[in-house]
Amino acid sequence: MNTVKITRDNFEKEVLHSDTPVLLDFWANWCGPCKMLSPTVDEIALEVNDVIKVCKVNIDEEPELASAFHIMSIPTLAVFKNGKVINSSVGVKPKNEILRMLEVK
């Protein structure tokens, strides 16, 4: 499974009401660090698709979502479980750190 593109129309269904934990990547086309992180997020999506849903939201296309979660810097990764943010990080992180974020209890 690849990443799921998140919009305000599918956010509630895909993220808040997901049966599995969700890794949500807040990014933008013009963001250099986002471009650096994107292949890692895509790789993780392929590896954990049976237990974690990996989603991306373009903050330029969905400013309401970025505002709702007080996204001040990108890339920002947020881990959702049962509709709540349980972990987050800002900036480019190595794959092993992102995987540690996903260790959902």
Which residues neighbour 53 within 8 Å (Cβ) at sequence distance 6 or greater? 1, 4, 14, 18, 20, 21, 22, 23
Annotated catalytic residue: which of 22, 23, 24, 34?
A: 34
Annotated catalytic residue: which of 31, 45, 52, 77?
A: 31
Is 31 one of the catalytic residues? Answer: yes
pTM of the model: 0.93
Domain containing 50 — which CATH number?
3.40.30.10
CA-CA distance, 65 to 14, in Å (whole number)?
13
> Would you say residue 29 has pLDDT above 80?
yes
77 within 8 A of 89, measured Cβ to Cβ:
yes
The count of structural domains within the chain is 1
> Would you say residue 13 has pLDDT above 70?
yes
Q: What is the pLDDT of residues 70-104, one digit of tens each?
A: 999 999 999 999 999 999 999 999 999 999 999 85
Closest CA to 81 of 24, 22, 25, 41: 22
Give residue 103's pLDDT.
Answer: 82
The domain in which residue 89 lies consists of: 4-101
